[in-house]
Amino acid sequence: MAHDHHPTGIKRWLFTTNHKDIGSMYLWFSFIMFLIGGAMALGIRTELFQPGLQFFDPNTFNSLTTLHGLIMVFGAVMPAFVGLANWLIPMQIGAPDMALPRMNNFSFWILPFAFTLLLLSLVPQLFPDGAPNFGWTFYAPLSTKYGPASTDFFIFGVHLMGISSIMGAINVIVTVFNMRAPGMTLMKMPMFVWTWVITAFLLIMVMPVLAGAVTMMLTDRHFGTSFFDAAGGGDPVMFQHIFWFFGHPEVYIMILPAFGIASHIIPTFSRKPLFGYASMVYATASIAFLSFLVWAHHMFTVGMPVAGELYFMIATMIIAVPTGVKIFNWVATMWKGSITFETPMLFALAFVILFTLGGVSGVMLAMTPVDKQYHDTYFVVAHFHYVLFPGAIFGTIAAVYYWLPKWTGNMFNETLSKIHFWLSIISVNITFFPMHFSGLAGMQRRVPDYNMMFEGFNQLSSIGAFMLGFSQLLFMYIVINCIRGGQGKATDNVWDGAEGLEFTHLPSPAPYHSFEKAPEVK
Amino acid sequence: MSLLNRVMSGTFMLFTLLASGVWANEPELSKYNLRPGVTENSQRVFDLHNEVAWIMLIVAFLVFAAILYAVIKFRKSAHPTPSKFSHSTTLEIIWTVIPMLILIYLTKPAIGLLLDMEDASKADMTVKITGIQWKWKYTYLDEDFEFVSELSTPASQYEDYARTGTEKGENYLLEVNNEVVLPVGKKVRFLMTSDDVIHSWWVPDFAVKMDAIPGFINETWTRIEKPGVYRGVCAELCGRLHGFMPIVVRAVTQSEYDQWVAQKLEEKAEAARLAAEAAAKSWSMEDLMEMGKKVYAEKCSVCHQPEGQGLASFPALAGSEIATNPDKIDEHTSIVLYGKNAMPKFGDQLTDAEIAAVVTYERNAWGNSTGDIVQPGRVGELRAGN
The string of pLDDT tens digits covering residues A233-283 is 999 999 999 999 999 999 999 999 999 999 999 999 999 999 999 999 999
Give which of B279, B343, B276 is closest to B315, Cα–Cα: B343
**Which candidate in B8, B31, B302 is best for mutational testing of the A interface (most A CBs within 10 A)?**
B31
| pLDDT tens figures, B158-193 | 999 999 988 999 999 999 999 999 999 999 999 999
Q: Which has more confidence, A152 or B340?
A: A152
pLDDT at B24: 38
Contact (Cβ atoms closer than 8 angstroms) between residue A129 and residue B312:
yes
Residue B131 confidence (pLDDT) above 80 = yes
The distance of B87 to chain A (nearest Cα, Å) reads 5
Question: What percent of chain A clears pLDDT 90, i.e. is strictly above it?
Answer: 95
Q: Do A370 and B99 touch (CB under 8 A)?
A: no
Indicate the range of A206-215, B78-87, B338-347 predicted with least confidence: B338-347
Q: Between chains, do A318 and B67 touch, taking CB under 8 Å as contact?
A: no
> Catalytic pick from A272, A326, A385, A420?
A326
pLDDT of residue B345: 84
Average pLDDT over residues B322-327: 87
**Cα A503 to chain centroid, rounded:** 25
Contact A464, A80 (CB under 8 A): no
pLDDT of res. B14 = 53
The 3-state DSSP class for residue B140 equals strand
pLDDT band at A344 (very low <50, low <70, confident <90, very high): very high
Would an 8 Å CB–CB cutoff place B19 in contact with chain A? no
Are residues A270 and B85, on separate chains, in Cβ contact within 8 Å? no
Separation CA A133–CA A287 (nearest Å): 32
pLDDT top residue among A67 and B341: A67
CB A176 within 8 Å of CB A90: no
pLDDT, position B27: 36
pLDDT at residue number B352: 87
Q: Within an 8 Å CB–CB cutoff, is residue A360 touching chain B?
A: yes
Q: How far apart are CA B208 and CA B187, in angstroms?
A: 13
The pLDDT of residue A189 is above 70: yes
Output the CA angle B57-B58-B61, nearest 5 degrees.
85
Q: How many angstroms separate the CA atoms of A379 and A165, rounded?
A: 30
What value does the CA radius of gyration of chain A take, rounded to a whole number of Å? 23
pLDDT of residue A41: 97
* Mean predicted confidence (pLDDT) in A283-289: 96
Residues in chain A closer than 8 A to B196 (CB atoms): 141, 146
Q: Determine, for residues B35 and A459 on separate chains, whether the beta-carbon distance falls below 8 Å.
A: no
Q: What is the pLDDT of residue B373?
A: 87
> Which of A468, A495, A519 is CA-nearest to residue A350?
A468
Note whether B76 contacts A271, CB cutoff 8 Å. Answer: yes
Rounded to an integer, the average pLDDT of A450-475 is 96
Determine the pLDDT at residue A3: 57
Query: B248 CB near a chain A CB, below 8 Å?
Result: no
User: Which pLDDT band, with edges at 50, 70 and 90, does B23 fall under?
Assistant: very low
Lowest mean pLDDT among A214-228, A294-308, B262-276: B262-276
Is residue A33 over pLDDT 60? yes
| Mean pLDDT within A176-201 | 96
Q: Could you report the per-residue pLDDT of B212-252, keeping only the tens digit for each?
A: 999 999 999 999 999 999 999 999 999 999 999 999 999 99
Q: Return the HEC string of B191-218.
A: EEEECCCCEEEEEHHHCEEEEECECCCE
Q: Tell me, what amino acid is at B177?
A: N
Contacts of B296 (CB under 8 A, 6+ apart): B358, B361, B362, B365
Taking CB atoms within 8 Å and a gap of at least 24, the contacts of B290-297 are: B290/B357, B291/B353, B291/B354, B291/B357, B291/B358, B291/B361, B292/B357, B292/B358, B292/B359, B292/B360, B292/B361, B292/B362, B292/B365, B293/B361, B293/B365, B295/B350, B295/B354, B295/B357, B295/B358, B295/B361, B296/B358, B296/B361, B296/B362, B296/B365
* Catalytic status, residue A449: no
**Continuous H helices in B78-159:** 89-117, 155-158
CB contacts of A52 in chain B (<8 Å) are: 157-160, 165-166, 168
A 191-220 residues with CB < 8 A to B: none
Contact flag B80-A338 (C-beta cutoff 8 Å): yes
Would you state the pLDDT for residue A1?
Answer: 45
Tally A–B CB contacts below 8 A.
326
Question: Cα separation of A509 and A20, whole Å?
Answer: 11
Distance between CA atoms of B47 and B108, rounded to whole angstroms?
14
Write a three-state SS string for A329-378. HHHHHHCCCCECCCHHHHHHHHHHHHHHHHHHHHHHHHCHHHHHHHCCEH
What mean pLDDT is reported for chain A?
Answer: 95
A372-376, B94-98, B281-285: the lowest-pLDDT one = B281-285
Domains of chain B: 3-118 (1.10.287.90), 125-267 (2.60.40.420), 281-383 (1.10.760.10)
Asked whether residue A19 carries a pLDDT value surpassing 50, the answer given is: yes
User: Taking the CB of residue B300, how many other CB atoms lie within 10 A of it?
Assistant: 21
pLDDT of residue B310: 85
Is B221:B190 a contact under the CB 8 Å cutoff? yes
How far apart CA A351 and CA B58 sit, in angstroms, is 19
Residues 374 through 403 of chain A touching chain B, CB cutoff 8 Å: 375-377
Q: Which helix (H) or strand (E) holds B187?
A: none
Residue A168 to residue A162: CA distance in whole angstroms: 10
CB neighbours of residue B71 within 10 Å:
18
Cis peptide before A148 (omega within 30 of 0): no
Distance CA A80, CA A256 (A): 13
Q: What is the pLDDT of residue B20?
A: 43
Nearest to A434 among B21, B88, B111 (CB): B21
**pLDDT the model gives residue B9:** 52
Which of the four pLDDT bands, split at 50, 70 and 90, describes residue B25? very low
Cα separation, B62 vs B66, whole angstroms:
6
**Angle formed at CA A197 by CA A195 and CA A200, multiple of 5 degrees:** 110
Q: Is the confidence at residue A384, as pLDDT, over 50?
A: yes
Mean pLDDT of B294-319: 86
Q: Is B164 left (phi over 0), alpha (psi -120 to 50) or beta?
A: alpha
Of A21, A47, A152, A250, the active-site residue reads: A250
- The answer to which of A125-129, A314-318, A430-434, B17-21 has the lowest mean pLDDT is B17-21
What is the spatial distance between Cα A117 and Cα A157, in angstroms, rounded to a whole number? 6
> Sorting pLDDT into bands at 50, 70 and 90, what band is B22?
very low
pLDDT at B26: 37
As a whole number, mean pLDDT of residues B320-341 equals 88
Instruction: Reply yes or no on whether A414 is catalytic.
Output: no
B93 part of contact set with chain A, CB < 8 Å: no
